Amino acid sequence: MPRYRYTKYTPNPLDEIDLTSLVEKLRDFFLDSGFSGRFTGQDSAQGTLESLYRALARILASDKRLPEDWRESLDRYEEEYPGGELPQDVRDFLDELISRLTKENFIRLSSQESGQGTTEEVDSEIRFEVTEKTSDFLGHKTLRKLLSSRGRSSFGGHRTVELSTGVESDRHSRPYEFGDSLNLDVNATLLNALRREGSRFPIELEYTDLMVHQSEYQSSCATVLMLDCSHSMILYGEDRFTPAKSVTLALAHMIRSQFPEDELKVILFHDSAEEIPLSKVASVRVGPYHTNTCEGFRLARRLLMNQKKDLRQIIMVTDGKPSALTLPDGRIYKNSFGLDPYILGATFKEAANCRRAGIAVNTFMLANDYYLVEFVKQIAQICRGRAYFTTIIDLAQSVLMDFMNRKTRTVH
């Protein structure tokens, strides 16, 4: 007869940790734009394994599912960072947690080790980056939070007042034209033939007898999101850049899940302008830059002209005046004092080029200075777009609702 030995069950704290909830709590850390340094201590520490240890310690120190001595060690480590130390069992626990995050593709580790050293020195050379899976997950959470505050809503496509010959037959039929989807209205087609031929069989159809169903025309849209990453986005007592990154992730998730035919591209404009992939949005930080709005418009227009979509638009999120301009020889002209007429003239000219190309420009201004309000109004007037004077609190909701409202725009 087999003999069994029973021992007291000791739960593994790691089994109690839900990774998706943990990633959601790490949102501010992953999207940190360098505003307060409350997670990193120093800008240079952002993206290192030690900075991730500290962020996890900050969150888990209040998790009552962990042993009390562990929580005390995590709290002490977080307060003493940098320079604090963790007991080996707690560090092993965090190592295993980071390993799970890596295996589940929430983060990606990359080693920059150049030699042998202590454990702390080796860890400081290991860096991590947020994956596209995490970016999409954070965008989904932001989007769900925003839409839940507005009640139930369903999205399908960008509806317009135009009609097309689609699959859904919810409008009266019309005569077939070359190029239409052959979604025949059989009854109307046969009735035309009977009117022409009379009630005799077989019925011979002619081209003019064909009738097709009409449905609401759903347009496709190409959007370029221009994000101002000049230094002013984290100055004046508030972080304006992290909310801008949040709305980018939310918009990307909405387009990917609800409007798969649409295109979204992201441009950072600072001393110059550059396109970045969506997977890199979470890790972008502001720098000691000026604001080259003109170059941002120029790059956005070039990207949109390559997109064969019914709607093409630029969504610009900024908080400052244009203070830089790319000269014909490639040099950057800068002037931070007031509204430089030379820079303004070039910016307005590029905005007019966008209008002539059929590109709408919608501007979201995060500041309310008089001269900035006037600048945004002039951009809206030139481009026949819309201007929004919003705050970091309702920025995401304003951008998403503006994007949705574009679905009622007439397509010619």
Two tokens at 280?
């890199």
User: What pLDDT was estimated at residue 218?
Assistant: 54
User: What pLDDT was estimated at residue 36?
Assistant: 54
Dump pLDDT digits (tens) for 71-90. Answer: 888 888 877 766 668 888 88
pLDDT band at 271 (very low <50, low <70, confident <90, very high): very high
Domain boundary assignment for the chain: 13-130, 165-218, 220-408
The Cα–Cα gap between 196 and 207 comes to 12
Contact 371, 344 (CB under 8 A): no
**Is pLDDT above 90 for 253?**
no
Dump pLDDT digits (tens) for 366-386. Answer: 877 788 888 888 888 898 888
pLDDT band at 293 (very low <50, low <70, confident <90, very high): very high
Dump pLDDT digits (tens) for 308-336. Answer: 887 888 989 888 789 999 999 999 999 98
Contact 53, 76 (CB under 8 A): no
Find the mean pLDDT for residues 280-296. Answer: 89
Q: 263 forms bridges with which residues in the sheet?
A: 222
Please give the helix or strand (H or E) that residue 284 lies within, else none: none
The Cα–Cα gap between 192 and 170 comes to 20
220-408: CATH superfamily: von Willebrand factor, type A domain (3.40.50.410)
The Cα–Cα gap between 72 and 84 comes to 13
Q: Average pLDDT over the chain, rounded to whole?
A: 78
Selection from 229, 227, 295 nearest residue 266 by Cα: 227
The Cα–Cα gap between 63 and 40 comes to 21
Selection from 309, 261, 317, 273 nearest residue 411 by Cα: 309
**CB neighbour list of residue 353: distance below 8 Å, 6 or more residues apart:** 297, 298, 301
CB neighbours of residue 194 within 10 Å: 13
